[in-house]
Amino acid sequence: MSGTQEEVAVPRLSVGERDRRYRLVRERMDREGLDVLILPANVSRWEQMMADSRYITTIGGFGTETLTIFPRDGEVTAYVFNRAVFWKAAQGWVADVRDGRNHWADNAIERLGECATRPRRIGISGLAGLIRAPDGIVPWTTVERIKKAFPNAEFVDATRLIQETRAVKSAEEVALMRRSASIIEAMVARMIEVARPGVRERDIYGAMVHTLLTNDGEQPSMLIFGTGLNVGHGQFVPTSRVLQRGDLLVNEIEARYAGYSAQAVAPASVGPASDAYLDLFRVAHEAFEAVRAVMTPGTPLGTLMDVYTGTIERAGRGRYRWAHPIMHARGLGDESPALLGDDDLERFRRVELQEGMTFIVKPRARGADGLSAQIGDTVVVTPGGGERLGKRALSLAVIG
């Protein structure tokens, strides 16, 4: 590709959205006395761990690694492994895109050294406290080398600063989430179309990924999928198991679009499901609607958990148990807050919902024999309650 290549045809966000984000982040930096942020390159967990860098640059997808240096004043710089020319043409937010060759410490030292005033207080996101990576995602060697290069600077963990900024989505971000939800529903429709007795799990999975890509989604995107008699959870790896009559198809489906991922849980059965499973499904659906109804600004997450557990108890007439997780924030990557387990409930119980937060709500009802049913869709917090981003009927699909 030449240095004068024309604009690349990929999804883009507006410059107004960039300016909104930069203003919010810099206001937080000003309050906390930070001169510059280092946002790490890390593509783990389907690129969910690189959300901070992508939030500032829009650069990412298909395994692109991006390190971002974000000063409180001055030009933003993005380092990619290579092919910086492509990313200069593929987005309109950051003019200074450089080939970094994965020398992230050298890249950060180079850019920090170019600052007109040597930074005195440097924030690094991803040091600790992420929902899916509590121990952090930044290599120790990288941090030590940067600290050695700037011995008079103070280094602080900026994970919470940028995660809290990302938590409330703008109208433009919610629109991207809706597009993701529409791709997911196309994948669900394709799953139902392809799944028949005699078809392999791997072939169904492949058809769904094909649908993701032809509808402008991007890889990597999380797709958990499994089949079997009375199966409750899918796997991360599709197998060559052949579908049989009486099987359940279970899943957790994401579809990244411009980096944003809604999520859905859309089970199906090959032939009629058992009465026991249908009753569990009914209870899970009632819990979904009950939780969604109280997802209004100002409601504490602990209240949502109480509604969830109470609905399972009431709708199941005391015969069923609930299970974690009930919900976790969705968006550009590893989002906060979340209710994945008891530790999260303790940590976030008093956190209040804000308009524009987006969550996957996916309650599960479990019987004494271990049989369970789960249903889920992505929901945005509004004054009238949680609004579904998906449009499909929340019913069990019966194949054949």
3-state secondary structure the chain: CCCCCCCCCCCCCCHHHHHHHHHHHHHHHHHHCCCEEEECCCCCCCCHHHHHHHHHHCCCCCCCCEEEEEECCCCCEEEECCCHHHHHHCCCCCCEEEECCCCHHHHHHHHHHHCCCCCCEEEECCCCCCCCCCCCCCCHHHHHHHHHHCCCCEEEECHHHHHHHHHCCCHHHHHHHHHHHHHHHHHHHHHHHHCCCCCEHHHHHHHHHHHHHHCCCECCCCEEEEEECCCCCCECCCCCCECCCCCEEEEEEEEEECCEEEEEECCEEECCCCHHHHHHHHHHHHHHHHHHHCCCCCCEHHHHHHHHHHHHHHHCCCCCEECCCCEEECECCCCCCEECCHHHHHHHCCCECCCCCEEEECCEEECCCCCEEECEEEEEEECCEEEECCCCCCCCEEEC
Residue 266 forms part of a structural domain: yes
Answer whether residue 254 is part of any domain: yes
Q: CB neighbours of 345 closer than 8 A, spacing ≥ 6?
A: 301, 302, 305, 339
Q: How many C-beta atoms surround the C-beta of residue 141 within 10 A? A: 10
Q: How many domains does the chain have?
A: 2
Residue 116: its pLDDT value, please? Answer: 81
Which residues lie across from 215 on neighbouring strands?
none
Residue whose C-alpha is closest to residue 255's, from 178, 359, 184, 204: 184
Residue 196 lies in a domain: yes
Tokens linked to 252: 């957790």
Cα–Cα distance list, 82 to 75, 87, 264, 280 (Å): 20, 9, 34, 51
State the Cα–Cα distance between residues 110 and 100, nearest whole angstrom.
10
Domain for residue 318, yes or no? Answer: yes
Is residue 123 a contact partner of residue 138, using CB atoms and an 8 Å limit?
no
**Domain boundary residue, one of 137, 166, 195:** 166
Nearest to 229, CA basis, from 250, 257, 206: 250
Distance CA(149)–CA(321), nearest Å, equals 55
User: Sorting pLDDT into bands at 50, 70 and 90, what band is 117?
Assistant: confident
In a domain, 9, yes or no: no
Q: Among all chains, which residue has been given the structure tokens 């593509």?
A: 43
Q: Are residues 393 and 257 in the same domain?
A: yes
CATH number for 259: 3.90.230.10
What is the predicted pLDDT for the residue at 400? 86
Where among 119, 149, 166 does a domain terminate? 166
Kindly give the pairing relationship between strand 268-270 and strand 248-257: antiparallel
pLDDT at position 6 is: 67
CB atoms within 10 A of CB 14: 12
CATH number for 68: 3.40.350.10
What is the overall mean pLDDT for the chain? 96
In 3D space, the residue among 115, 153, 126, 123 whose CA is nearest the CA of residue 66 turns out to be: 126
Whether 226 shows a pLDDT value over 60: the answer reads: yes
Q: Do 121 and 261 lie in a common domain?
A: no
Give me the mean pLDDT over the 241-259 stretch. 98
- What local confidence, expressed as pLDDT, does residue 1 receive? 35
Q: Is residue 241 part of a domain?
A: yes
77-80 and 66-71: which strand pairing? antiparallel
Q: How far is CA 104 from CA 36, 124, 156, 301, in A?
A: 16, 13, 18, 38
Question: Same domain, yes or no, for 142 and 258?
Answer: no
Given this model, what pLDDT does residue 3 score? Answer: 42
Q: Tell me how far apart the alpha carbons of residues 71 and 65 are, in angstroms, rounded to a whole number.
A: 20
The answer to whether residues 158 and 258 belong to one domain is no
Q: For residue 132, tell me if it sits in a domain.
A: yes
Answer yes or no: do 73 and 182 share one domain: no
**pLDDT band at residue 2 under the 50/70/90 scheme:** very low
**For residue 123, is it within any domain?**
yes
Per-residue pLDDT, averaged over 48-75, amounts to 96
253 and 382, same domain (yes or no)? yes
The pTM score is 0.96
Name the nearest CA neighbour of 256 among 61, 18, 21: 61
157 and 197 housed in the same domain: no
**Are 235 and 128 in a shared domain?**
no
Residues 159 and 244 in one domain: no
Q: Report the percent of the chain where pLDDT is more than 70.
A: 98
158, 188: one domain? no
Looking at residues 54-62, what average pLDDT do you find? Answer: 97
pLDDT band at residue 214 using 50, 70 and 90 as cut-offs: very high
Same domain assignment for residues 132 and 198 = no
* CA–CA dist 135, 243 (Å, integer): 40
pLDDT computed for residue 224 by the predictor:
98
- Flag whether pLDDT at 266 surpasses 70: yes
Domain that holds residue 346: 171-399
> Do 147 and 186 belong together in one domain?
no
Domain closes at, from 133, 150, 166: 166
pLDDT in tens, 326-377: 999 999 999 999 999 999 999 999 999 999 999 999 999 999 999 999 999 9
Nearest to 28 by CA among 142, 162, 157, 154: 162
